[in-house]
Each structure stands twice: as C-alpha cells, then as structure tokens.
C-alpha cells in the first residue's frame, strides 16, 4: 500500500489532508502502515514533550444531568443511575489530595447539573484559586451562555473541555435528542476560545452510526477550530441507555486516530483517556506510545467513583486516588515515561 504511506507522509508534512484523503487514510488502514503512522506520532510527541507526561486530577463532582444524550450513562432518563453531588468542601479535599501527589491541574467535570448556579461554580473556582494559586483549573460542565463562560474565566478557570462529539449534522442527530444542537455546541467552543480559555474539543471513536466520512469531518473541524486540547476515546456502551446493544469502538481505531491527531497538531495536549484504559488493560500506555501526552486519573472520593458511570466497565472505580496515582506512575515508568509536576499549559499559552 504505497499510496497509504504517501498519505501519511503528506499528513506529516502538511499537517492536514483533504476530506476525502482523511477518509481514505481510515478506510484503507492496515497493520504495517498503522505502525509507521504510530512511530511518526510518538516521535512527534517526544520532540515537543520529551518523555514527560502531564497529569490532570479529575474531580467528577456531580452526575446529575439535564441532557439525554443516547450514549451516556448519566443521561437524565437513566432512572437506574444513582445521583450524587459533592459538597464544596469535598471538592477542595480532592484538590488537597491531588496537590499532595504533585498535581498542578484540576479538572472539574459534571453532567449539566442545574443544581449549581453560575455563582456556586464561581465560588468554588475562587476557593480553589485562592488555596492553590500555582494550579490550573479546567472546567467541563457542558453548554453555557457566553456570559457564563466569561464569569467562569474571571473566577479563575482557564481551560475548558467540551468535546464536539461529532462535526457532522446527520451523525449528531443519531447521537442526540432534538433539543440539542451541533450549532450550539460549536458556538460554545468558539466563544470559549474567543474568551481566552485553553479549549479542548474531541469525539468518541466508533460511536453508533459513525463512518470514515464522519471522522474525516471531525479532523477537518478540529483543523478549523485549532483547539489546545483534544479528548478522544472509544465509545463504550452503557447497559441503561438506548445504545445498550451497540458495538463498542475499538482500541485499534482509537490509537490510529490519536496518531493522526498528533501529526496534525504537534503541540496539542492529547490525553490517553480512561475509556481507552477500559477497553484494553494497557490502553493508556498504548495511547502514549501512539502520541498522547496527558493522563487524567480520578481524584473523586471512593464513595462516588462507582457512580460517575458514562459507560459500562469503567476502570478504577474501587480504588483510592492514591492507588490510582501510584499505579499510573508505575505504568508510565514501565514504558519509559515520567509523570511531571507541572501545570502543563499549551506551549506558549498565557492568560490575557
């Protein structure tokens, strides 16, 4: 397949392909060329980040959600989900624990929980900012107005994760109920970038109805948006959702997409996600070897870990934060990488 290798070289050189070329790159992939792509991507990550892996402490502070995305285990229609909300003090305790491990970034993630007002979130942000002035705070609480995002930024958040999920209207409609819109999702991402956040977009690999063309459109959209972070992971079914019988995304295609993204965006912050670690015991290690440079262990208290279940089989739900941290540190060491105590901003980013 000389042709595929040419496409990979072209991607490496130009940092982008045409829509139909991305689709071909996926459609005609094979083990040998995938290994070529992987090794270019790993080299690329090493040139920017060396053997250093940034770590983000993930605090899943509420699993209440007003939305009903068909793929997600904490969708509002899932009556079997046991709902919880962490108190402010609990959240701060998670940060204290993480700080002790050397974490300098905290990610506050939740469903779209209307139980917190903008003021509540801002107060939490300010408290974290006051107690940990040397740490970055990332929010991931879904779609909000521009005004709300501005308040969050003023209160001290400087990164925001909001996966676009899919850049294609037809595919978006397969994954979401009609009250949600791709346009609004994209509007949010544009606003966030405009305000000055380091922004993370991304998508699930192998979500129901996804074609090579949809993935191609995702790559093209990301090229337009130019996010600072890109979160991708395999779709994994959840037993209490409409997608309970849908096949899961694969390790192989997720790794392939990670490597494509690394060649497109040499400096982007690219996590090896928990979902990747869930579909394969060495998923996160393989993710790093495919070009990822970030890991996001959970800091959530043990009592709620088993409740933030977006998909079945999630790993590390029975562990204490300290165990997860030690385990990941070892896992990275074993493949020749090192977890670092660093905010891990996008290279060159500063707060305006």
SS3 breakdown of the chain: % helix, strand, coil, rounded to 5?
45, 15, 40
- Cα-to-chain-centroid distance, residue 247: 21
Among 98, 111, 206, 277, binds ligand SAH (CB under 6 A): 111
For 113, phi then psi, to 5°, come to -95, 110
**Nearer residue to ligand SAH within complex by CB, 158 or 165:** 165
Minimal distance in Å, beta carbon 207 to ligand SAH? 8
The span of 150-158, 228-236, 288-296, 314-322 binding ligand SAH (CB under 6 A) equals 228-236
Closest CA to 228 of 321, 116, 350, 342: 350
314 binds ligand SAH, rule: CB under 6 A: no
61 binds ligand SAH, rule: CB under 6 A: no
Overall residue count recorded for the chain in this entry:
352
How is 225-286 classified by DSSP, letter by letter?
H--SEEEEEE----TTSTTTTSPPP-HHHHHHHHHHHHHH-TT-B-B--HHHHHHSTTHHHH
Among 61, 219, 221, 235, binds ligand SAH (CB under 6 A): 235
Among 91, 222, 236, 257, binds ligand SAH (CB under 6 A): 236
Strands (E), 98-145: 105-110, 136-140
**Nearer residue to ligand SAH within complex by CB, 71 or 172:** 71
Measured distance CA(278)–CA(296) in Å, rounded: 13
Minimal distance in Å, beta carbon 234 to ligand SAH? 6
Contact 262, 41 (CB under 8 A): yes
163 binds ligand SAH, rule: CB under 6 A: yes
Question: Contacts with ligand SAH in 240-269 (CB under 6 A)?
Answer: none
Among 140, 254, 293, 300, binds ligand SAH (CB under 6 A): 140
Among 142, 177, 209, 242, binds ligand SAH (CB under 6 A): 142
Closest CA to 231 of 189, 281, 170, 194: 189
Q: How many residues bind ligand SAH (CB under 6 A)?
A: 18
DSSP code of 310?
Answer: S
Q: What angle do CA 83, 89, 95 make, to 5 degrees?
A: 95
**Nearer residue to ligand SAH within complex by CB, 109 or 300:** 109
58 binds ligand SAH, rule: CB under 6 A: no
**Nearer residue to ligand SAH within complex by CB, 73 or 301:** 73
Among 61, 172, 221, 311, binds ligand SAH (CB under 6 A): 311
204 binds ligand SAH, rule: CB under 6 A: yes
Q: What is the four-CA torsion angle of 236, 141, 147, 151, rounded to 10 degrees?
A: -150
Contact 256, 34 (CB under 8 A): yes
274 binds ligand SAH, rule: CB under 6 A: no
Measured distance CA(5)–CA(24) in Å, rounded: 11
Minimal distance in Å, beta carbon 275 to ligand SAH? 5
164 binds ligand SAH, rule: CB under 6 A: no
81 binds ligand SAH, rule: CB under 6 A: no
Among 49, 54, 71, 106, binds ligand SAH (CB under 6 A): 71
**Nearer residue to ligand SAH within complex by CB, 236 or 258:** 236
Question: What does the buried/exposed string (b/e) look like for 121-131 if buried means 16 or more CB atoms within 10 Å of the residue's CB?
Answer: bbebbebbbee
Mapped onto helix, strand or coil, the DSSP state of residue 201 is: strand
Among 40, 81, 128, 275, binds ligand SAH (CB under 6 A): 275
Q: Which residues contact ligand SAH by CB under 6 A?
A: 71-72, 109, 111-112, 140, 142, 162-163, 165, 204, 233, 235-236, 238, 275, 310-311
């Amino acid at each position: 397949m000389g042709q595929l290798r040419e496409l990979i070289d072209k991607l490496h050189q130009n940092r982008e392909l045409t829509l139909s070329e991305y689709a071909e790159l996926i459609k005609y992939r094979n083990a040998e060329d995938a290994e070529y792509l992987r090794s270019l991507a790993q080299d690329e990550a090493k040139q920017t980040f060396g053997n250093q892996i940034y770590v983000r402490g993930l605090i899943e502070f509420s699993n209440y959600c007003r939305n009903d995305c068909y793929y997600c285990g904490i969708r509002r229609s899932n009556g079997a989900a046991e709902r919880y909300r962490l108190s402010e003090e609990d959240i701060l305790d998670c940060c204290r624990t993480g700080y002790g491990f050397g974490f300098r970034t905290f990610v506050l993630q939740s469903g779209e929980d209307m139980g917190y007002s903008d003021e509540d979130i801002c107060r939490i942000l300010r408290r974290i900012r006051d107690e940990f002035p040397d740490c970055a705070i990332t929010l991931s609480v879904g779609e909000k107005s521009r005004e709300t995002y501005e308040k969050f930024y003023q209160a001290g958040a400087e990164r925001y994760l909001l996966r676009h999920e899919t850049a294609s209207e037809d595919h978006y409609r397969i994954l979401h109920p009609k009250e949600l819109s791709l346009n609004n999702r994209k509007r949010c991402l544009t606003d966030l970038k405009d305000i000055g956040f380091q922004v993370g977009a991304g998508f699930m690999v192998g979500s129901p109805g996804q074609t090579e063309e949809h993935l191609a459109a995702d790559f093209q959209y990301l090229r337009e948006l130019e996010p600072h972070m890109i979160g991708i992971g395999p779709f994994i079914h959840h037993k209490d959702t409409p997608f309970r019988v849908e096949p899961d995304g694969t390790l192989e295609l997720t790794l392939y997409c990670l490597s494509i993204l690394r060649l497109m965006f040499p400096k982007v912050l690219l996590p090896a996600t928990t979902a990747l670690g869930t579909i394969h015991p060495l998923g996160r290690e393989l993710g790093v070897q495919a070009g990822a440079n970030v890991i996001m262990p959970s800091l959530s208290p043990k009592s709620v870990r088993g409740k933030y279940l977006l998909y079945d089989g999630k790993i590390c739900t029975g562990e204490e934060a300290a165990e997860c941290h030690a385990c990941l540190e070892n896992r990275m060491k074993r493949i020749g990488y090192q977890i670092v105590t660093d905010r891990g901003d996008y290279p060159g980013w500063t707060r305006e």
